[in-house]
Structure 1
Amino acid sequence: MSWPQRRLRRPARGRAAAIVTVLIALIVLAPIATLAWFALDSDFGHWSHLANYVLPQALANTLLLLAGVGVLVTLLGTGSAWLVTAYRFPGRQMLTWALLLPLAVPTYIVAFAYLDLLHPIGPIQTALRAVLGFDSPRQFRLPDLRSLPGAIFVLGFVLYPYVYLSTRVMFMSQAASLMEAARTLGATRAEAFRRIALPMARPAIAVGLSLALLETLNDIGASEFLGVPTLTVAVYTTWITRSDLAGAAQLALTTLAIIVALILLERHARRRQRYANTQRMRPMPPRPLRGAQAALALALGLIPVVIGFVAPVSYLVAETWARLHRVGGVSDALLGGLRNTLTVALAATVLTVACGLVVGWASRTLREGGGIDPVRACARVASLGYAVPGTVLAIGLMTPFIAIDRLLGATFGTTGLVMMGSVTALVITCTIRFLAISAGSVDAALTRIPPSLEQASRLLGETAGGTLRRVHLPLLRPALAAAALLVFVDTMKELPATLLLRPLNFDTLATWLYAEAARGTYEEGAVAALLIVLAGLLPVMLLARTQLKIGR
Structure 2
Amino acid sequence: MTQFFRRLPWWQGIASLIALCVAAPIITLVFYAFGGDVGHWAHLAQFVLPNAMKNTLILLLGVGIVVTLLGVGAAWLVTAYDFPSRKALSWALLLPLAVPTYIVAFAYLDILHPIGPVQGLIRDVMGYSSPREFRLPDLRSLGGAIFLLGFVLYPYVYLSTRAMFATQSANLLEAARVMGESGRSVFFRVALPLARPAIAVGISLALLETLNDIGASEFLGVQTLTVSIYTTWVTRSNMAGAAQIAIAMLVIVASLITLERYGRRKQAYTSQIRSRPIQAQRLRGAPMLLAIGLGWAPITLGFFIPALYLIQETHKYLDRAGALSAQLVASAINTVSIALFATLLTVVCGLVVAWAGRRIRNADRPVYGLTMARISSLGYAIPGTVLALGLLTPLVLFDDFYNRIASWLGIPSSGLLLMGSSAALVLAYTMRFLAISVGGTEAGLQRIPPSLEQASRLLGETPASTLYRVHLPLLRPAIGAAALLVFVDAMKELPATLLLRPSNFETLATWLYAEAARGTYEEGAVAALAIVAVGLVPVILLARTQLMNTGKSS
Q: What interval of TM-score do these two structures reach, taking the shorter chain for normalisation?
A: over 0.9
Moved more, 445-454 or 350-359: 445-454
Partner amino acid, structure 2, of 1:549? N
Equivalent residue, structure 2, for 1:5? none
Equivalent residue, structure 1, for 2:364? 370
Measured in 2, the distance between the counterparts of 1:464 and 1:266 equals 36
Q: Residue by residue, what CA displacement relative to the aligned partner does 1:480-504 show, whole Å, maximum 9, x if unpaired? A: 1111100000000100000000000
Equivalent residue, structure 2, for 1:4? none
Partner amino acid, structure 1, of 2:539? V
Equivalent residue, structure 1, for 2:463? 464
Q: Give runs of aligned pairs for residues 29-178 of structure 1, distance below 5 A.
A: 29-178=23-172
Partner amino acid, structure 2, of 1:330? L
Assess if the C-alpha contact under 8 Å between 1:231 and 1:251 holds in 2: yes
Measured in 1, the distance between the counterparts of 2:267 and 2:370 equals 25
Equivalent residue, structure 1, for 2:416? 417
Assess if the C-alpha contact under 8 Å between 2:361 and 2:369 holds in 1: no
Partner amino acid, structure 2, of 1:437? I
Equivalent residue, structure 2, for 1:441? 440
Measured in 1, the distance between the counterparts of 2:209 and 2:538 equals 17
Residues 372 and 313 of structure 1: is their aligned pair in 2 closer, same or farther, counting only changes over 3 Å?
closer
Q: Give runs of aligned pairs for residues 61-460 of structure 1, distance below 5 A.
A: 61-371=55-365, 373-413=367-407, 414-460=413-459
Measured in 2, the distance between the counterparts of 1:184 and 1:148 equals 46
Q: Residue by residue, what CA displacement relative to the aligned partner does 1:379-409 show, whole Å, maximum 9, x if unpaired? A: 2211111000000000000001011111111
Q: Residue by residue, what CA displacement relative to the aligned partner does 1:435-473 show, whole Å, maximum 9, x if unpaired? A: 000011111101111122122222222222222111111
- Shift of residue 176, structure 1, vs aligned partner: 1.0
Assess if the C-alpha contact under 8 Å between 1:22 and 1:379 holds in 2: no
Equivalent residue, structure 2, for 1:527? 526
Assess if the C-alpha contact under 8 Å between 2:200 and 2:260 holds in 1: yes
Secondary structure in 2 matching 1:465: helix
Moved more, 109-118 or 451-460: 451-460
Note if 1:490 corresponds to 2:489.
Answer: yes
Measured in 2, the distance between the counterparts of 1:478 and 1:299 equals 36
- Shift of residue 200, structure 1, vs aligned partner: 1.3
Equivalent residue, structure 2, for 1:3? none
Measured in 1, the distance between the counterparts of 2:363 and 2:258 equals 31
Equivalent residue, structure 2, for 1:7? none
- Shift of residue 292, structure 1, vs aligned partner: 2.2
Residues 331 and 369 of structure 1: is their aligned pair in 2 closer, same or farther, counting only changes over 3 Å?
same
- Shift of residue 525, structure 1, vs aligned partner: 0.1
Measured in 1, the distance between the counterparts of 2:402 and 2:354 equals 31
Measured in 2, the distance between the counterparts of 1:516 and 1:143 equals 24
Q: Residue by residue, what CA displacement relative to the aligned partner does 1:14-59 show, whole Å, maximum 9, x if unpaired? A: 5323211211111011000000001011121010000000000000
Q: Residue by residue, what CA displacement relative to the aligned partner does 1:77-129 show, whole Å, maximum 9, x if unpaired? A: 00001100000000100100110000000000000000000001111111111
Aligned identity (percent) is: 63
Measured in 1, the distance between the counterparts of 2:500 and 2:371 equals 29
Measured in 1, the distance between the counterparts of 2:149 and 2:259 equals 21
Secondary structure in 2 matching 1:138: coil
Measured in 2, the distance between the counterparts of 1:337 and 1:200 equals 47
Assess if the C-alpha contact under 8 Å between 1:38 and 1:246 holds in 2: yes
Equivalent residue, structure 2, for 1:545? 544
Secondary structure in 2 matching 1:272: coil
- Shift of residue 264, structure 1, vs aligned partner: 0.7
- Shift of residue 272, structure 1, vs aligned partner: 2.7
Q: TM-score, normalised by structure 1?
A: 0.97
Partner amino acid, structure 1, of 2:90? T
Partner amino acid, structure 2, of 1:461? G
Measured in 2, the distance between the counterparts of 1:14 and 1:475 equals 25
Measured in 2, the distance between the counterparts of 1:59 and 1:139 equals 36
Secondary structure in 2 matching 1:119: coil
Moved more, 306-315 or 371-380: 371-380
Secondary structure in 1 matching 2:9: helix
Q: Residue by residue, what CA displacement relative to the aligned partner does 1:170-215 show, whole Å, maximum 9, x if unpaired? A: 1111111111122112211111111111111111111100000000
Partner amino acid, structure 1, of 2:240? A
Matched residues, number: 542
Equivalent residue, structure 2, for 1:6? none
Equivalent residue, structure 1, for 2:410? none
Measured in 2, the distance between the counterparts of 1:252 and 1:342 equals 29
Measured in 2, the distance between the counterparts of 1:521 and 1:124 equals 19
- Shift of residue 316, structure 1, vs aligned partner: 0.1
Residues 376 and 168 of structure 1: is their aligned pair in 2 closer, same or farther, counting only changes over 3 Å?
closer
- Shift of residue 373, structure 1, vs aligned partner: 2.6
- Shift of residue 13, structure 1, vs aligned partner: 8.4
Partner amino acid, structure 1, of 2:48? V
Moved more, 363-372 or 438-447: 363-372
Measured in 2, the distance between the counterparts of 1:459 and 1:490 equals 41
Measured in 1, the distance between the counterparts of 2:304 and 2:369 equals 47
Measured in 1, the distance between the counterparts of 2:324 and 2:358 equals 48
Measured in 1, the distance between the counterparts of 2:283 and 2:167 equals 22
Q: TM-score, normalised by structure 2?
A: 0.96
- After superposition, the CA RMSD in angstroms is 1.2
Partner amino acid, structure 2, of 1:250? Q
Measured in 2, the distance between the counterparts of 1:68 and 1:78 equals 15
Partner amino acid, structure 2, of 1:307? L
Assess if the C-alpha contact under 8 Å between 1:76 and 1:304 holds in 2: yes
Residues 464 and 272 of structure 1: is their aligned pair in 2 closer, same or farther, counting only changes over 3 Å?
closer
Partner amino acid, structure 1, of 2:548? L
Equivalent residue, structure 1, for 2:477? 478
Measured in 1, the distance between the counterparts of 2:501 and 2:19 equals 24
Moved more, 372-381 or 445-454: 372-381
Measured in 2, the distance between the counterparts of 1:175 and 1:13 equals 48
